[in-house]
Amino acid sequence: MRPRQHPSYYIDGLRAGDRLVLSRAITLVESQLPADQTLAQAVLEGVLPHLPQTSVRVGITGVPGVGKSTFIEAFGKHLTGLGKQLAVLTIDPTSQRSGGSILGDKTRMETLSMDPLAYIRPSPAGDSLGGVAYRTRETMLLCEAAGFDLILIETVGVGQSETLVHGMVDFFLLLMLAGAGDELQGMKRGIMELADALAITKADGDNIPAANRARLEYQNALHLFPPTDTGWQPPVVSCSALNNTGIAELWTMIETHQTLMNEPAPDGSSAWLRHRQQQALDWFRSLLRQRIEQQFFARPDIANSLAHVEKQVVDGTLLPTLAVDQLMPRFR
Amino acid sequence: MRPRQHPSYYIDGLRAGDRLVLSRAITLVESQLPADQTLAQAVLEGVLPHLPQTSVRVGITGVPGVGKSTFIEAFGKHLTGLGKQLAVLTIDPTSQRSGGSILGDKTRMETLSMDPLAYIRPSPAGDSLGGVAYRTRETMLLCEAAGFDLILIETVGVGQSETLVHGMVDFFLLLMLAGAGDELQGMKRGIMELADALAITKADGDNIPAANRARLEYQNALHLFPPTDTGWQPPVVSCSALNNTGIAELWTMIETHQTLMNEPAPDGSSAWLRHRQQQALDWFRSLLRQRIEQQFFARPDIANSLAHVEKQVVDGTLLPTLAVDQLMPRFR
């Protein structure tokens, strides 16, 4: 067996913080080849006992044009300036179509990509949304194994990937533009209530008054919405990557949230721990459901009749309950 | 075969608008007995071709104390006053615990329950949330088959049943109290973005100024949120069941929404039709997933190892991906 076919090559390399090994391990995790998948699982199993227990995972989302890369560049520089080891993972559900996300992301964050404390890795969209989440989660673990204790996951706030990313981070930050209108048209309904904080971007130059107005409006609006389970009331801030304003404050806010979440409960647990445990359980259940369904829909008898049955359901000539009875091979 | 064991007893009775038969048909649909279920499916299949194509389904939700029953009583009286045949279905996820919802609901809407144009039916919570939705959908179809072309489905806005109800109605109305605070604590996060309209209740007496203030605040807030897919911007109104104000306006608003949704597209379809078709497809897929999972988790080998595997996942000693591999009998 050549070295790169053995889990220890990756496990040792990751624990030593070797970035070349990290990149190769991520490529392994993303590979569709059965042999690579087996190896990837062995690598993940090997690093699991050594994962840091103090990492911070932040999801960042916003519609195209909100300035995500510019924001992450400024935010990332601030974090590495504090000595943080920072990994940035970007999920772009459109990259399959454009085909250019991998080079694109690196050039989008030019300064940060040359920072020795930062590691930037785009996630290709893959063939399913579930697949994106699957690989991004494991990529995140690999980064943590390699010593990156702060993970930023960037996603575009227009589809379903945000809900998945929300399920794998400690803090979910929504970037917004001042002067809603057009921006809101492209935004997914329901996403605002996932956010742990809103940041109005591009609060610089002539745009400062509008950004401040937007900040106040959203602040008033969010007070009318239910707080999160932990009682956290999502704050609204404004910031400028250009002038580097509001960036440090955002990190302080995330630290405050982390402190709150880590307050020990009488039983020794914390909201942070319960949240991570629930996320692991949700991840397991959703993977299991996915696998069960894959097996089911791969059956030739099911695959052949599904489209026909679904057409009748849509046409209103077959009740969904009866459609299920027709499709299920072992009814009652 | 006795008459009540034959589908035609129910089908003919429903088509004749016989309320006793309707009540019995609903009881049949709610029954867990296999023989009843088979009969119920035959009844539903029999009425399917005769369902009215013009019914309006409205979901109404709000946390306990918002005055749902009082509102529905006033709203319902207004609707029967317009000559509408109205069915009110209430889902109470707590009724299993309290055990008293069936009598409770009827007495809660005393005037409406004696109205010859109205039919009130509480849905017992059943053993699963999916079950609630399952039976409520079918109950709705039975009511429509019996000539009720306007269906109100009431649910408590604190759990997950609202999301399910949202998936079976044309219009989703959220009732809110003026002076948020306590009320918001109990409300499920994300529910506001499901709403097609917000109504501030109890806008009477000393409470009028507060209700008007709340109305304006929520109106401003909702403008900052993405509109629905159809471009509908959820309005905020205030109303009083006591003074009977704002009630007629709410119905006019729902009619406006219906008109907008029914505007024919160039291909002859409408947003209303596409919405109903999508709901039918979603219902089918969710029932199918449920059934597939039921079969899977009923396997003794799975049932035995699931809890053990989940514990390891929660403890962080087993990766969810590996946990799935361990659990699945036919891995790759």
Residues in Cβ contact with A19 at an 8 Å cutoff, skipping those fewer than 6 apart: A119, A146
Whether A289 is covered by a domain: the verdict is no
The CATH number of whichever domain residue A80 belongs to comes to 3.40.50.300
Q: For residues A253 and A258, what is the distance between their CA atoms, to the nearest angstrom?
A: 9
Q: In this structure, are B63 and B208 located in the same domain?
A: yes
Q: Taking the CA atoms of chain A, what radius of gyration do you get in angstroms?
A: 22
Q: In this structure, are B188 and B317 located in the same domain?
A: no
Provide the domain count of chain A. Answer: 2
- Shortest distance, CA A310 to any CA of chain B (angstroms): 7
Q: Which pLDDT tens digit goes with each residue over A111-158?
A: 898 999 999 998 765 555 545 656 888 999 999 999 999 999 998 766
Residues 43-62, chain A, touching B (beta carbon < 8 A) = 44-45, 48-49, 51
Whether B241 is covered by a domain: the verdict is yes
- Which residue of A lies nearest to B192 if distances are taken between CA atoms? A225
Test A217 with B228 for CB contact under 8 angstroms: no
Query: Cβ-count burial of B8 within 10 angstroms (0-12 exposed, 13-18 middle, 19+ buried)?
Result: exposed
Structure tokens at A80: 């590495």
Residue B103: the pLDDT is 44
Q: In this structure, are B68 and B178 located in the same domain?
A: yes
In chain A, residues with a C-beta closer than 8 Å to the C-beta of B193 are 189-190, 192-193
Whether B276 is covered by a domain: the verdict is no
- Selected for mutation to probe chain A from B324, B328, B331, B332 (highest A CB count within 10 Å) is B324
pLDDT above 70 (res A55):
yes
The CATH number of whichever domain residue A30 belongs to comes to 1.20.5
Whether B72 is covered by a domain: the verdict is yes
Q: In this structure, are A77 and A225 located in the same domain?
A: yes
Q: What are the CA-CA distances from residue A173 to residues A87, A200, A326 (Å)?
A: 16, 11, 45
Q: For residues A253 and A215, what is the distance between their CA atoms, to the nearest angstrom?
A: 15
Read out DSSP for B146-179? TT--EEEEEEETTSSHHHHHHTT-SEEEEEE-SS
Q: Which of B44, B64, B229, B216 shows the shortest CA–CA distance to B145?
A: B44
Whether A318 is covered by a domain: the verdict is no
The CATH number of whichever domain residue B3 belongs to comes to 1.20.5.170
Q: In this structure, are B158 and B206 located in the same domain?
A: yes
Taking the alpha carbons of B86, B236, B136, B170 in that order, is the dihedral positive or negative? positive
Q: In this structure, are A158 and A242 located in the same domain?
A: yes
Q: Which of B189, B277, B289 sits opposite A226 (nearest CB)?
A: B189
Question: Is the CB of residue A138 less than 8 Å away from at least one CB of chain B?
Answer: yes
The angle, 0 to 180 degrees and rounded to 10, between the axes of the packed helices A271-297 and B300-315 is: 150
Q: In this structure, are A98 and A155 located in the same domain?
A: yes
Query: Cβ-count burial of A304 within 10 angstroms (0-12 exposed, 13-18 middle, 19+ buried)?
Result: exposed
The backbone region for B206, taken as left when phi is positive above 0, alpha when psi lies in -120 to 50, beta otherwise, is: alpha
Q: Taking the CA atoms of chain B, what radius of gyration do you get in angstroms?
A: 22
pLDDT above 80 (res A255):
yes
The answer to whether B149 and B85 have CB atoms below 8 angstroms apart is yes
- Which residue of A lies nearest to B158 if distances are taken between CA atoms? A226
- Confidence band, pLDDT 50/70/90 cuts, at residue B186: low
The answer to whether B76 and B112 have CB atoms below 8 angstroms apart is yes
Residue B262: the pLDDT is 92
Q: In this structure, are A38 and A166 located in the same domain?
A: no
Q: Which pLDDT tens digit goes with each residue over B96-114?
A: 434 344 444 456 788 898 9
Whether A292 is covered by a domain: the verdict is no
Residue A277: the pLDDT is 94
Q: Which of B220, B91, B221 shows the shortest CA–CA distance to B151?
A: B91
Q: In this structure, are B122 and B218 located in the same domain?
A: yes
- Residue count of chain A: 332
Share of chain B above pLDDT 90, in %: 55
Share of chain A above pLDDT 90, in %: 55
Q: For residues B155 and B146, what is the distance between their CA atoms, to the nearest angstrom?
A: 22
In chain A, residues with a C-beta closer than 8 Å to the C-beta of B325 are 41
Name the strand (E) or helix (H) holding A119: strand A118-123
pLDDT above 60 (res A105):
no
The domain boundary residue, chosen from B15, B35, B50: B50
Q: In this structure, are B179 and B301 located in the same domain?
A: no
DSSP code for B320:
H
Q: Which of B210, B221, B178, B216 shows the shortest CA–CA distance to B67?
A: B178
Whether A276 is covered by a domain: the verdict is no
- Which residue of B lies nearest to A52 if distances are taken between CA atoms? B316
Whether B332 is covered by a domain: the verdict is no
Q: Which of B146, B167, B164, B145 shows the shortest CA–CA distance to B45?
A: B145
Test B316 with A48 for CB contact under 8 angstroms: yes
Q: In this structure, are A172 and A243 located in the same domain?
A: yes
The domain boundary residue, chosen from A242, A266, A290: A266
Structure tokens at B279: 């709901």
Q: In this structure, are A20 and A138 located in the same domain?
A: no
Q: Which of B218, B228, B288 sits opposite A224 (nearest CB)?
A: B218
Q: For residues A111 and A90, what is the distance between their CA atoms, to the nearest angstrom?
A: 16
Test A45 with B319 for CB contact under 8 angstroms: yes
Quote the domain boundaries for residue B307.
282-327
The answer to whether B199 and B239 have CB atoms below 8 angstroms apart is yes
The domain boundary residue, chosen from B244, B271, B298: B271
